[in-house]
């Protein structure tokens, strides 16, 4: 059998570094500028290109091509007739930067800032600074280092520079300084730039004071290249915000979106808070996607971020798989101001009921996880792409799939964990429910319907509630999308519930029933499997985030609260399965069954003990929908 030749992209990745190195040898007359830093590289590069282009032929990296391959492509495309080449340099993963510098050999080196991006790779912010300092340490004796004086880790690199240093910042010690900074929206960033005896007004098109560093870096590059400060300042004013970096989009109904969805390292979120606090708008709305590059527990990080967000904005929305963590910040005083959705599409469907004329909406997310900009694009004109697994490193506005005309096809089932079309239609049909009155104690067993899912990790909740029903002497009746059993206990209505849709659709089913029957999240006890808990362990929680359980996540976002009591049954496998989704719906082994069965019975006993306790202080929710006969109806 003939061996398959590698694809062209593989051949290109092998040949490109050699071709770029050969081309670099004939570019002795081109001055290369290398820009690195944890934030602001792309904007600084675009500004520097505009400044240098006022007097010379200038080439630069395209878009955000700062990886090793992207840098090699830029070097390979540079011609001897070019005067300058501005290259954006990434330091992740380890080794990228040094490999790039070996070919680029910059004469002017710039470091914009040091943050916690790639903290997991480098383990400390000092190690990140050390890696980025190589841009300065590799400069020739007749080169120029342009350093941010406002960042202690950056300005410390001046001692390692083998050449002339130009510092910039808001501090008086900086050589290129920014005074009289103005950036309160709707005003764009403006300030007075001072260098030696010169003083020039700079009126940029950028949104937010966080871009001071990028603009001053470009002015510093201009000074290093011998360009007058006044000419450099005028060039800066021509540069528009780059998509995904505090990029403004005017929507219908007088609503403006600021799209900052390229990356959302925790350390960068504070600048968005400051922008919102200073902004002048009818209302300020902040939508936060996936946070990155933080230490400690996700639940704590998202909760703290949500608390700070509520101080900066009138309305706060979290989107994505971690969104439910933010609900921990919810309380009586802000219950109507914070919201969480697991998907971009769910958030988009919610926005029309929230946004008002004159609102300023800031989107802060990560391009590899969220593409939050779709919320703005959809507001302007409906889009067709709602993928939560898009890894494209490009703005949505440049993607052909954003508004592609796609034919609706039945969704393929994911290991049996989502509802079938027939079940969805059944759950939509009106069904008469039993006429019950509170106060309620609602016990929800989580699992997948059908015989094939018996004795599987995802169905331990079903098994526990079946035992509980038997102990209480209650019988099951199926009402459309749910099997119910009910009775009286200590003056309370006990309602046992097994959703007849799959686990991931728990929230929709439970919310419909709550509205029809008149119970609330705080009336519920959810019996769930927990993959993070050792097999056979039980754990109770009074409230909290979803812990990665998609069924729980759907419940928290459907009710917009984390006030669900939960009993978790540990189902962690002895060994990591090849496909985790398959593990949830495959029967336990005989060894695991022997461990889990007694624990399921214990879980039922624990719930029974909970039901025996008097419960006060929880008001029954009012019924929101009844049939003509006054009986509850679920759709």
Annotated catalytic sites, by residue? 458
Length of the chain: 635
Listing DSSP states for 296-359 in one string gives S-HHHHHHHHHHHHHHH-SEEEEESTTGGGGGGG--TTTTTTEEEESSHHHHHHHHHHH--TTE
Name 526's bridge partners. Answer: 444, 566
d(Cα 419, Cα 480) in Å, to the nearest integer?
13
Distance CA 388, CA 553 (A): 15
Distance of alpha carbon 257 from alpha carbon 285, whole angstroms: 9
| CA gap 253, 485 in Å, rounded | 48
Q: Which of 40, 133, 131 is nearest to 93 (CA)?
A: 131
Distance CA 158, CA 169 (A): 14
CB atoms within 10 A of CB 23: 17
Q: How far apart are CA 116 and CA 151, in angstroms?
A: 13
Facing residues of 227 across strands?
none
**Mind giving me the DSSP string for 352-402?**
HHH--TTEEEEEE--TTTT-THHHHHHHHS--S---S-----S-GGG-TTT
Q: How far apart are the first and last CA of the chain?
A: 59
- Interacting residues of 609 by C-beta distance below 8 A, sequence separation 6+: none
User: Of the candidates 182, 377, 180, 376, which has an alpha carbon nearest to the alpha carbon of residue 279?
Assistant: 182
- Asked if 362 contacts 275 with a C-beta cutoff of 8 angstroms, the reply is yes
Q: For tokens 């971009």, what's the residue? A: 344
């Amino acid at each position: 059998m003939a061996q398959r030749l590698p694809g062209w992209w593989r051949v290109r990745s092998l040949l490109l570094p050699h071709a770029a190195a050969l081309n670099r040898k004939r570019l002795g007359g081109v001055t290369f500028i290398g820009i690195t830093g944890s934030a602001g590289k792309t904007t600084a590069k675009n500004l520097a290109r505009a400044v240098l282009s006022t007097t010379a032929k200038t080439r630069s990296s395209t878009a955000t091509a700062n990886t090793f391959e992207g840098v090699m492509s830029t070097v390979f495309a540079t011609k001897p007739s070019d005067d300058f080449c501005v290259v954006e340099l990434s330091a992740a993963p380890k080794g990228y930067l040094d490999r790039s510098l070996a070919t680029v050999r910059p004469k002017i080196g710039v470091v914009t800032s040091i943050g916690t991006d790639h903290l997991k790779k480098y383990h400390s912010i000092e190690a990140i600074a050390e890696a980025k300092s190589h841009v300065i340490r590799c400069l020739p004796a007749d080169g120029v280092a342009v350093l941010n004086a406002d960042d202690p880790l950056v300005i410390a690199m001046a001692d390692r520079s083998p050449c002339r240093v130009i510092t910039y910042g808001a501090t008086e010690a900086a050589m290129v300084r920014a005074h009289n900074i103005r950036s309160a929206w709707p005003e764009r960033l403006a300030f007075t730039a001072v260098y030696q005896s010169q003083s020039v007004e700079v009126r940029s098109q950028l949104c937010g004071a966080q871009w001071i560093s990028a603009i001053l870096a470009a002015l510093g590059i201009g000074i290093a290249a011998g360009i007058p400060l006044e000419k450099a300042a005028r060039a800066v004013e021509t540069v528009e915000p780059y998509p995904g970096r505090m990029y403004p989009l005017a929507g219908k109904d007088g609503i403006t979106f600021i799209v900052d969805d390229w990356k959302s390292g925790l350390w960068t979120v504070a600048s968005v808070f400051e922008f919102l606090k200073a902004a002048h708008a009818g209302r300020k709305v902040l939508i936060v996607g996936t946070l990155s590059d933080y230490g400690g527990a996700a639940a704590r990080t998202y909760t703290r971020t949500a608390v700070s967000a509520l101080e900066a904005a009138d309305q706060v929305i979290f989107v994505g798989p971690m969104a439910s963590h933010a609900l921990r910040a919810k309380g009586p005083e802000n219950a109507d101001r914070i919201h969480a959705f697991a998907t971009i599409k769910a958030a988009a469907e919610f926005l029309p009921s929230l946004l008002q004329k004159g609102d300023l909406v800031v989107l802060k997310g990560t391009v590899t996880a969220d593409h939050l900009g779709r919320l703005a694009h959809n507001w302007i004109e409906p889009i067709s792409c709602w993928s939560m697994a898009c890894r494209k490193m490009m703005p949505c506005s440049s993607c052909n799939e954003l508004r592609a005309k796609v034919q609706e096809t039945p969704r393929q089932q994911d290991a049996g964990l989502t509802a079938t079309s027939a079940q969805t239609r059944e759950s939509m049909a009106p069904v008469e429910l039993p006429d019950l009155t509170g106060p309620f104690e609602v016990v929800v067993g989580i699992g997948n319907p059908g015989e094939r899912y018996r004795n599987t990790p995802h169905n331990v909740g079903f098994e526990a509630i079946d035992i509980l029903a038997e102990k209480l002497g209650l019988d099951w009746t199926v009402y459309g999308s749910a099997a119910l059993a009910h009775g009286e206990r200590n003056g309370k209505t006990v309602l046992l519930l097994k959703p007849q849709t799959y686990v991931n659709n728990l929230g929709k089913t439970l919310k419909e029933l709550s509205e029809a029957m008149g119970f609330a999240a705080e009336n519920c006890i959810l019996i769930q499997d927990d993959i993070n808990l050792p097999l056979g362990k039980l754990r109770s929680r009074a409230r909290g985030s979803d812990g990665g359980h998609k069924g729980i996540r759907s419940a928290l976002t459907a009710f917009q609260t984390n006030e669900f009591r939960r009993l978790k049954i540990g189902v962690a496998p002895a060994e990591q399965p090849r496909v985790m989704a398959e593990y949830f719906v495959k029967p336990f082994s005989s060894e695991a069954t022997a461990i889990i069965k007694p624990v399921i019975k214990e879980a039922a006993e624990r719930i029974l003990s909970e039901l025996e306790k008097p419960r006060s202080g929880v008001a029954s929710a009012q019924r929101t929908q009844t049939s003509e006969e006054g009986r509850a109806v679920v759709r």
